[in-house]
Amino acid sequence: MGSLLNITNDTFEQEVLKSSTPVLVDFWAAWCPPCKMLGPVLEEVAPELEGRLRIVKVNVDEQGALASRYGVMNIPTMILFKDGREVARIVGYKPKARLLDELSKHGI
């Protein structure tokens, strides 16, 4: 699914929690229609925010432990991490303008 990095339980700490750049983690699944709608939005936003934000994906079917660890009940759920801490949670499909608006509230 696109060019965004897929994160696993093994790579989460290094790629997300230890990142010096804020990271938006997209919790998704292949069978989820809103997730499929969100994918192209994230693919479009990622290069625009390069240097200010990294966007990565977590497949909840393959990485159920991560979804449980962060209490992801509905997908898509995007969690914004800054300095290893969750600072925002965006649940459900968001068109590009709404997503950028949400991120701008956190200085991105």
Q: What does the pLDDT average to over 58-80?
A: 97
Domain boundaries, the chain: 5-104
Active site residues: 32, 35
Per-residue pLDDT, 3: 74
Report pTM.
Answer: 0.96
Where does the chain have alpha helices with state H? 9-12, 33-48, 64-69, 96-104
Q: What's the CATH class of domain 5-104?
A: alpha beta
Q: How confident is the model at residue 1 (pLDDT cuts 50, 70, 90)?
A: very low
Mean pLDDT of 93-107: 96
For residue 2, what pLDDT band results from cuts at 50, 70 and 90?
Answer: low
Q: What would the mean pLDDT of 62-72 be, rounded to a whole number?
A: 97
